[in-house]
Structure 1
């Protein structure tokens, strides 16, 4: 909408105008007067009349002899100065004003004919209603037709399960009819302030509210409503679409609407053949603080108007699947989720799925609701047209030829100054894979760092993987006797508790329990990698340096939601501390020393150097 613009811009633009001997400067002053008395943003016109008078008196105005050219230049000037494309000046010597039709004064039979020609009602497959309205009638006309509208339109619409409300061809209407339509699609429990209209000529402000009661049955606010719009949708229809969209009561499908006005008038400038078209009223939504005027109503789903019906039908098909999907995911959570007492399913019954327009947005909404109600960011719903591989995720044992490539790709070792070992690995492999590649791992990786005085394990880029090898990995950092209790696992799928211990034997040499171990972390570190890190921290076997980890899970199952194309990743195991017996937090591992991931290695080297020096001095 128009911003406050200094009148200086208008002065400069008007100084480019010219006039022949037959043009009176009073024309421009009269135009300014019309704007001051009628333009719906009077605050943008402060000082304009005096500024124009100064421009005219300056004598710097050039000559323009053609009246239509003059009108075009005036249009550019006034639009640019006030930043409002609705302001136009025209030269029309043969203009004949057309009085708008006053509908309430027409006979009832003519009103019925008009309504029948501007309204189409149909019932599509699956009890989907289709209502097309090309002209929104005002409050007085609606009152006059009363029961006819109720019996032939609104009560029939009320019987449908969902509605496609077609406003693509709605190019006329009265704003006073908007509250009725908004009221029809809402509940009467609380009145809603839906619009505020300021009329400049009368200097009055009118608030539009939903109606406390309607004759006949309401559609209510639970059943789906899809509004279709096009670039021709204008005026009162835009007010309907804009309000229902921002009340989150309807989904808009189609094109951005025209961006019309509440009310415009073409006003003759003095006694000349020049006219200025002025928006004399403005709408401000109390819901958004903005308006559909000029900018139009942006659709929720942008698609060319002629394809909007087909898109709306497919969208409703997705939305009709929501109740079944919600029930299915509720069942999955109940059967497999490790923290069954933390999920609240009430949100799904509150009708908060209005933004859902396809399976991707349904997955996003379900994920957000699950995470919010459970407080667990590991719960995740995703859309997949092809069955995900994780449903049949069996670890692949590498061939003899593949082992070397795998070790090169996953592991990096280095000997740092001070006989400090450095081991980076970016994935937690399955225990069967580790066993199968054991001799090569010992030779190519472990043997290079096992005899160092301290060890840095870099897990900044390790996003997780399999948890089965964690006991084996931990065992290398403890003595053979006694066996150490690492953590306890509760498996929701089997409702069993399992104590996880170090192993009595391992291949190759142990690192032992006395030398320092330093683990580097980042916000990317997750899942099974976190379990290893938290275990080492819990048992005071490592110093953790870097960023808090992401907060993953020991094990997540992937489950199809009913027979849909949606799948849920659900943590189905929970880990209890061997020290406290309490459930590990899902918020990730907090390092002993907080450092940015990029700085974690030099920080670790400084700490190691200081500790080794202190040890040497203590001997």
Structure 2
């Protein structure tokens, strides 16, 4: 009822603003409301309308407007705004005479043939691509009358093409009853498909539209390439065809957003006046989406998969058809790379089979370029494997990660690198604070080691407690993890940190602390706190997890990202697509099981922004308790 009250409120406000002359009778609104209640295709939106009208009339708020065309505009604005339906219009046409055009099927055969010739164009283009343009979709009775002629002169000439461009850019009229015929030619005969449901309000009846079991001639089927072109002029039955084929995942839609039409509208006289209201009397409900191809609010209904200007749509369709010829090899190559390199072979095989299955079923049909293919592949890989680290991306320039060779800094660059990566401070109470934002390669650390010990480590090694801040460290090289961990354990015995299984090389490496390091060790007794955030990942996360599992540090902050200690970057064929695949499984030194991809859970949960304060409070509290025990 809220919508209808708003409807009449809008009318009353507009009336008050525009005119205050008197002669309009409230009966007009009552008659208009009765028409809507009996004919509008969304009756559920009109609940409470009569009560709202009576309240408005009884309150005396309805003002009188003498200018009928002005009143028609006010009523139109009110009803459209209240029901959010731009198809509802009110007009004042005292001399209007309804004209009912003759039914198409009743026209002489010769006239029908001329009409079809003027509204259908066809061509077999290069590479056996069919082009079929239909500017008016004819209904089932006309199809029955001209079926053999349509087949012999139109369909037969394009049915054997290997791909088709179906052009509906100029289709502005048509009959809904013809939609099942078109959809059926682009579907298999079995099973029959429920493609639409039409509800008609005046008769309160519902009709389900299904594909047709028997057709003249050969079907195009559901396997061959189909591109449907639409424009901002595409309306009505053509929109229904495009919407249905899109959501059956049978066709790619290319062009502009469609006009936004209706199944059926009627222009109905309001009482005995010269006012008429145009009302959508039927609506469509798609069985796949539960929604309609019709206009919704002020938005057009059919949105293309590839949005281009209407005049560029044919060229774009040819590009997509050419691109699709490569998809088979690209998807197969992605699956092969996964099976060759991914750390969990049984999962890799499962995902590879799924990609092949989706490809066979045509579920990559909506892909229109490398970017959309990368997005679809990534979603499928991650959903099936449960591993968010699997990623496909497109890159016009060969990514540096493909080679992953660390750059050894020059002597002049050493100081800059240390300043950029490390922040050091001794806090009150002789608490060391070390923040570093990237895990460098072991060779780089070797090159800067002497100066790093002098500028960074010597300031911290004699502190009583150390806070290591990894909140801003998204990862880097894992080769330096053993070196970093070594500083926090005793020289003997060597400590088993974790074990690496490399699927690509099929070898196992046991990672241990190092027997010797530059400078002094921090040792195994003093407390260490590691701060984390939701972006702490890759090698930084592996360092944190190792220190936590070996009970050498207390972790404070947010769960980490769940990244891979090592991911390889592999080119997919000769394309601009690349796969980032975790190629090493890390086995816990404590449990012997593979590390989870869900990230490191902190010992003490805290917002990343508050983690340092929390650590300092814990350190202070621990010292206070120690003093009390000593007393």
The TM-score normalised by the length of structure 2 is 0.89
Q: CA separation of 1:378/1:169 partners in 2, compared to 1, >3 Å: closer, same or farther? A: same
Question: Is 1:218 matched with 2:255?
Answer: no
Equivalent in the alignment of 2:368: 357
Q: CA separation of 1:92/1:548 partners in 2, compared to 1, >3 Å: closer, same or farther? A: closer
Equivalent in the alignment of 2:280: 279
- The C-alpha deviation readout for 1:131-183, integer Å capped at 9, x for no partner, is 21111111111122223333444455443333322111101110111122223
Which is worse superposed, 216-225 or 239-248?
216-225
Q: CA separation of 1:506/1:274 partners in 2, compared to 1, >3 Å: closer, same or farther? A: closer
Alignment partners' CA distance in 2, 1:320 and 1:141: 37
Equivalent in the alignment of 1:195: 196
- The C-alpha deviation readout for 1:476-501, integer Å capped at 9, x for no partner, is 11222222222222222222222222
**What's the CA shift for 1:508?**
0.8
- 8 Å CA contact retained: 1:238, 1:257: yes
- 8 Å CA contact retained: 2:3, 2:82: no
- The C-alpha deviation readout for 1:376-414, integer Å capped at 9, x for no partner, is 211111110111112233211222221111111110111
**What's the CA shift for 1:272?**
5.9
DSSP-derived class of the 1:346 partner:
helix
Alignment partners' CA distance in 2, 1:59 and 1:444: 83
Q: CA separation of 1:436/1:24 partners in 2, compared to 1, >3 Å: closer, same or farther? A: closer
Equivalent in the alignment of 1:64: 66
Equivalent in the alignment of 2:451: 440
Choose the corresponding residue for 1:405, options 416, 432, 438.
Answer: 416
**What's the CA shift for 1:209?**
2.3
**What's the CA shift for 1:504?**
1.6
**What's the CA shift for 1:352?**
2.3
**What's the CA shift for 1:293?**
2.5
Choose the corresponding residue for 1:393, options 404, 409, 415.
Answer: 404
DSSP-derived class of the 2:552 partner:
coil
Question: Is 1:317 matched with 2:302?
Answer: no
Alignment partners' CA distance in 2, 1:32 and 1:525: 62
Question: Is 1:308 matched with 2:313?
Answer: yes
Equivalent in the alignment of 1:537: 548
Specify every segment of 5 or more residues in structure 2 that has no aligned partner in the other structure, as ranges.
none
Equivalent in the alignment of 2:335: 330
Which is worse superposed, 535-544 or 3-12?
3-12
- 8 Å CA contact retained: 1:519, 1:543: yes
Q: How does 1:547-562 map to 2 (within 5 A)?
A: 547-562=558-573
Equivalent in the alignment of 1:240: 241
Choose the corresponding residue for 2:346, options 341, 347, 354.
Answer: 341
Which is worse superposed, 261-270 or 338-347?
261-270
- 8 Å CA contact retained: 1:269, 1:275: yes
Alignment partners' CA distance in 1, 2:81 and 2:466: 70
- The C-alpha deviation readout for 1:242-277, integer Å capped at 9, x for no partner, is 222233333322222222221222344566655443
Q: CA separation of 1:19/1:113 partners in 2, compared to 1, >3 Å: closer, same or farther? A: farther
Q: CA separation of 1:542/1:267 partners in 2, compared to 1, >3 Å: closer, same or farther? A: closer
Alignment partners' CA distance in 2, 1:458 and 1:251: 50
* Number of matched pairs: 616
- The C-alpha deviation readout for 1:286-316, integer Å capped at 9, x for no partner, is 3333323233323333322222222222233
Alignment partners' CA distance in 2, 1:91 and 1:392: 74
Which is worse superposed, 457-466 or 226-235?
226-235
Question: Is 1:9 matched with 2:9?
Answer: yes
DSSP-derived class of the 2:105 partner:
helix
- The C-alpha deviation readout for 1:532-575, integer Å capped at 9, x for no partner, is 22222222222222222111112111111001110111111122
Question: Is 1:423 matched with 2:424?
Answer: no
Which is worse superposed, 95-104 or 538-547?
95-104
Q: How does 1:116-515 map to 2 (within 5 A)?
A: 116-268=117-269, 274-295=275-296, 296-297=300-301, 298-343=303-348, 344=350, 345-348=352-355, 349-350=357-358, 351-515=362-526
Alignment partners' CA distance in 2, 1:482 and 1:270: 99
Alignment partners' CA distance in 1, 2:216 and 2:173: 24
Q: How does 1:23-62 map to 2 (within 5 A)?
A: 31=32, 34-42=35-43, 44=46, 47-48=49-50, 51=53, 55=57, 61-62=63-64
Specify every segment of 5 or more residues in structure 1 that has no aligned partner in the other structure, as ranges.
none
- 8 Å CA contact retained: 1:68, 1:90: yes
Which is worse superposed, 444-453 or 123-132?
123-132
**What's the CA shift for 1:47?**
4.8
**What's the CA shift for 1:56?**
11
- The C-alpha deviation readout for 1:416-475, integer Å capped at 9, x for no partner, is 232221111110111111011111100100000101122111111111111111111111
Q: CA separation of 1:442/1:61 partners in 2, compared to 1, >3 Å: closer, same or farther? A: closer
Alignment partners' CA distance in 1, 2:394 and 2:550: 40
Q: How does 1:70-89 map to 2 (within 5 A)?
A: 70-80=71-81, 82-89=83-90
Which is worse superposed, 403-412 or 392-401?
392-401
Alignment partners' CA distance in 2, 1:33 and 1:376: 58
DSSP-derived class of the 1:215 partner:
coil
Which is worse superposed, 603-612 or 90-99?
90-99
